[in-house]
Amino acid sequence: MFWRVRRSMRMHWVRLMTTCLVLSVVMVWWDNGMMNHVKSFSYRLLVNRFGDINRSLTITREQARSFSNFRNLLDHPNKCDDQDVLLLLFVKSSPVNTARREAIRSTWGNETFILDSLGVTVKVVFALGAPSGPNGTDAILQMRLFREDRHHGDLIQQDFRDSFHNLTLKLIMQFHWMHRCCAHARFFMTADDDVFIHMPNLVAYLQGLRDQGVSDFWVGRVHRGAPPKRSQDSKYYVPPDMYQWISYPDYTPGGGYVLSGDVADKIYHATLTLNASLHIDDVFMGICAKAVGVSPQEHLYFAGEGKAPYHLCIYNQMITSHGHVEDLQDLWKAATHPKVKERTSGLLGKLYCTAMKIFLLCRYHLNGYPCLAAFH
């Protein structure tokens, strides 16, 4: 009797060990990307070496100045004067994206509309580097930017080359500009120029936070324990000598995230002594934040890389959605239409929307919002 129990327990053990062995073999041979995530996530949990990262990326102020001492080509130092600014919103744009800027000014980025209908001051400015075209086309493009800026007065531009690999320089420019010209803004946001921002929802959310007096605040979609891309074909390729660890600090993808003013100031100070050669701007933001001891909070209605579904139950709660260019006008009209609030309120509206959101967000993996958002 005893002997049989012992024997069957031993069989269990053998079975368990075999399963583990098979599983680990499968995992090692499985898709490398998945393994990278497992590796970096466990690394993040087990050995927290972010103090090392900070130490090894710290450089002298003189050295760090090379990432920020660019000449201003377009500047508006008085943009925030004498005003209670709720939000300073930087849109990362590039010189050729004139049409995108026009669309933003006439939809979610319309400062007059925000002041008149929402009753708060939001400053929307575009962050640009210098155009770099062949054979003098850059000079023509720069003339066009001067003209555009005379019209709208909302371009902030420095003379580093505007390119994907210089996005970190653009981010540093934003923090330095805020420090110099708009330090009293309650919140700072940075966003891509193909992002849709539901301004009424964002403003209501930020007013709530302001009234609670939040500080030490950083919100967006959060990437945790993401591994650096080590394949040279990737747009996000980072060689080990630029970043040697196998996982990035937590960060919020650059499509759009928000900081409280005090955090923006801390990040500004971090940029004065960190090596900013890592060109992925949102990861660099994560490194700065780690250095000053700030961590991000997740908000399910900040989009990651993807588009939110087109539906009024989504519009009722969305903050950002990524990948909108041609449809910006239509989406703005639909998402801010009075019937959105009407149809989604009340017990019936709420029930309907929960069902609808489960259907829209939980069927398969969309990159817009996670399934969990359906229950919020």
Q: Which residues bind ligand NAG (CB under 6 A)?
A: 51, 54, 58-59, 63, 105-106, 110, 112-113, 116, 134-135, 160-161, 163, 165-166, 241-242, 273, 275, 277, 291, 293
What residue type is 311 in one-letter code?
H
Least distance in Å: CB of 289 to ligand NAG? 10
Least distance in Å: CB of 286 to ligand NAG? 13
The two three-digit tokens of residue 56, written as one number: 């090894």
Least distance in Å: CB of 137 to ligand NAG? 8
Cβ-based nearer residue to ligand NAG, 225 or 309: 225
Least distance in Å: CB of 351 to ligand NAG? 34
Least distance in Å: CB of 274 to ligand NAG? 8
Cβ-based nearer residue to ligand NAG, 250 or 353: 250
Contact 124, 191 (CB under 8 A): no
Give the pairing of strands 121-130 and 72-74. unpaired
Cβ-based nearer residue to ligand NAG, 213 or 293: 293
Least distance in Å: CB of 67 to ligand NAG? 10
Least distance in Å: CB of 125 to ligand NAG? 15
For 156, phi then psi, to 5°, come to: -115, 115
The two three-digit tokens of residue 89, written as one number: 């919103």
Least distance in Å: CB of 209 to ligand NAG? 25
Cβ-based nearer residue to ligand NAG, 10 or 55: 55
Q: How many residues does the chain have?
A: 376
Closest CA to 190 of 178, 180, 208: 178
On the 0-12 / 13-18 / 19+ scale of CB atoms within 10 A, 283 is buried
Cβ-based nearer residue to ligand NAG, 222 or 270: 270
C-alpha to C-alpha distances, 44 to 37, 49, 227, 246, 296, nearest whole angstrom: 10, 8, 10, 9, 15
Cβ-based nearer residue to ligand NAG, 18 or 69: 69
Contact 277, 242 (CB under 8 A): yes
Cα-atom radius of gyration of the chain, to the nearest Å? Answer: 24
Cβ-based nearer residue to ligand NAG, 83 or 329: 329
Cβ-based nearer residue to ligand NAG, 76 or 290: 290
On the 0-12 / 13-18 / 19+ scale of CB atoms within 10 A, 38 is middle
C-alpha to C-alpha distances, 18 to 13, 24, 114, 141, nearest whole angstrom: 8, 10, 63, 65
Query: Which residues lie closer than 8 Å to 315 by C-beta, 6 or more apart?
Result: 198, 334, 335, 336, 337, 340
Q: Element (H or E) spanning 124, and its range? A: strand 121-130
